[in-house]
Amino acid sequence: MARAWWKEAIAYQIYPRSFKDSNGDGIGDLRGIIEKLDYLEDLGIDVIWLCPMYKSPNDDNGYDISDYEDIMEEFGTMEDFDALLSAVHARGMKLLLDLVVNHTSDEHPWFVESKSSKDNPKRDWYIWRDGSEDEPPNNWASIFGGSAWEYDAATEQHYLHVFSKKQPDLNWENEEVRGAVYDMINWWLDKGIDGFRVDAISHIKKMPTETMLPSLDGKRHVTAFSMYSNIEGIHEYLQEMKRETFAKYDIMTVGETNGIEPKAADLWMGPGNGAMNMAFHFDHVDIMRKSRLAPLDVVELKLIFDKWQQGLLETGWNALYIENHDMVRAVSLVGDENHYWRESATALGMMYFFMHGTPFIYQGQEIGMKNVPLPSIHDYDDVATKNEYFERIANGMSEIDSMQHVWGTSRDNVRTPLQWDASPHGGFSSATPWMPIHAEYETLNVEAQSKDVNSILSFYKAMIRLRRAEETFTYGSYRDLLPEHLQVFAYERKFEQQCFYVLVNLTANPAETTLPGLDEATLVLTNEVDPEPIEQDTFMLKPFEARLYRL
């Protein structure tokens, strides 16, 4: 297996608006990130993935870009960005940007021109189709709810938006569009950034828009994921993008590839042929989300991970994660944020961190940050949350039931300010933050955990040190040890003469487990403060107990 710096890296995702405010306006910014780079260096981070900081009207928290080569005013200036890039590199770290090229903002100059008239040279840069004000071209639903089409009265046509109506989709069939996108990518790479996380890239190719979908439940707008995800022909665009941009630089590229399967790994991220270095898949996220309403299906979760671990061992590379800016807090979803908060947060960390791939940590995950239920829908910022809430109300759901759904699913749960210390506003800002901070910030914060050797933060530091010290976790094989166990996730990592076992109880109940050989193995890491020795093949793991052994 070929070695590469990005395979050996530990990555950390920053959501700039909620990371650290440097100028007292209640909004995180680039200078705030610079202030906390020493923290990330001490944590052991090699790569920082920075969520969008481009100029944007901020309908979807920066994923609606109005200028790819400028900085959102709330975050700072291009001078601030250059200072950040320099400071990251000075610490031996790398910086990835979010590359959002499925769509732009409706305020981007490209779309403003496109919308101005049917004969504008940029009209075909977006996807326009005929239809009446009351009848869109087809019945496709947007991922964010409602129709995927928006009517423009001035030109009497609709434009396609897979996401928000303020995020019109670019027409990748148009060669000029692709050329402009590639020029922009190379502009940033020439600036010295170290790569991209490529947003929503599996959606850039669409099925013919004449396609109407059957509505089994009578709804006017039908889920249309299959109409704009991984459509045949997409790899022609991806290979062209790689050839014109990525392949010219020593960079790290990570695709957000919702809907792909391991059998397609060679085209997406295979050695030599792959359009990118690695990819985020979503199969395990789907299993985790089901646990909001029912106990976590540990067996199914293991089956999903095994599929991807085995499937990509030789033909691709996994981007490992349990949290990101589009999810909820893992400890609130599949852990126990009350009785076993510390145990479950560390257990979930160990579960994924030693698998085959490059691990990503989302800001606040390393201290076990929890969901933040807000009292009113008007307290929420996320466009998808609000769209879904009002759609549920329109379909007859009560306000309280709709809010309970919001509390358990809103992306704003992971977008609240990072809790740095016990000072007002959690040390995030000297002003009232743009979103409310968690009520427990006085005890649940970075500073408190940095002083506690048994904290979640200390455990993450230990995992990072161990992963960096043992190349088995990067280049070794993977084997599920207990695929049928209903509570315990146990797997083997093996490389040359080294062998490790990872054992995690993913439930709030004790788990009887049988696994020979641990009585002679060395316990390398555990989340138990006073671990009991294992002296026989059958033993008990405490609720959310996690152990890592060297055999």
CB 330 within 8 A of CB 370: no
What are the residue ranges of CATH 3.20.20.80 in the chain? 11-104+175-371+449-464
Contact 257, 235 (CB under 8 A): no
Domain with CATH 2.60.40.1180 in the chain: 475-550
DSSP 8-state code for residue 290: H
Strand partners, 268: none
Give the residue carrying structure tokens 């106990």.
295
507 pLDDT more than 80: yes
Does 526 or 216 have the greater pLDDT score?
A: 526
Judged by DSSP in three states, 246 sits in helix
Helix (H, G, I), strand (E, B) or coil at 504: strand
Q: How many CB atoms lie within 10 A of CB 534?
A: 21
Which residue ranges does the chain devote to CATH 3.90.400.10?
109-160
pLDDT at 260 over 90: no
| pLDDT tens for each residue of 287-296 | 999 888 889 9
In this structure, what token pair is assigned to residue 207? 């099925």
Tell me if 62 sits within 8 A of 434, measured CB to CB.
no
- Asked if residue 110 has pLDDT above 80, the reply is yes
Q: Residue 190 in 3-state DSSP?
A: helix
Residue 327: closest CA among 364, 367, 358, 355:
364
- Using alpha carbons only, what angle is made at residue 288 by residues 287 and 289, rounded to the nearest 5 degrees? 90
Dist CA 291 CA 68 (whole Å): 38
Distance CA 342, CA 452 (A): 12
pLDDT band at 265 (very low <50, low <70, confident <90, very high): confident
Say what the pLDDT of residue 212 is.
86
Catalytic residue ranges? 199, 256
Decide: 205 and 234 in contact? Cβ < 8 Å: yes
Contact status, residue 502 vs residue 478, Cβ threshold 8 Å = no
Q: Which of 191, 146, 139 lies closest to 165, judged by CA?
A: 146
Q: pLDDT confidence of 484, banded at 50, 70, 90? A: very high
Contact indicator for 212, 206 with CB cutoff of 8 Å:
no
The bridge status of strand 140-141 relative to strand 149-152 is unpaired
Q: What are phi and psi of 372, to 5 degrees?
A: -125, 95
Distance (Å, whole) CA 43 – CA 147: 44
Contact status, residue 495 vs residue 517, Cβ threshold 8 Å = no
Q: What's the topology of domain 475-550?
A: Immunoglobulin-like (2.60.40)
Distance CA 149, CA 137 (A): 8
Q: In terms of Cα–Cα distance, which of 6, 9, 8, 20 is closest to 364?
A: 20
CATH class of the 11-104+175-371+449-464 domain in this structure = alpha beta
Rounded to the nearest 10°, the torsion over CA 130, 136, 137, 143 is 130
Look at the domain 109-160 and name its fold. Answer: Oligo-1,6-glucosidase; domain 2 (3.90.400)
Digit-coded pLDDT (tens) for 308-336: 999 998 889 999 999 999 899 999 999 99
Phi first, then psi: give them for residue 398, nearest 5 degrees: -70, 160
> Does the predicted model carry a pTM greater than 0.85?
yes
Does the pLDDT of residue 69 top 90, yes or no?
Answer: yes
| CA–CA separation, 190 and 18 (whole Å) | 28
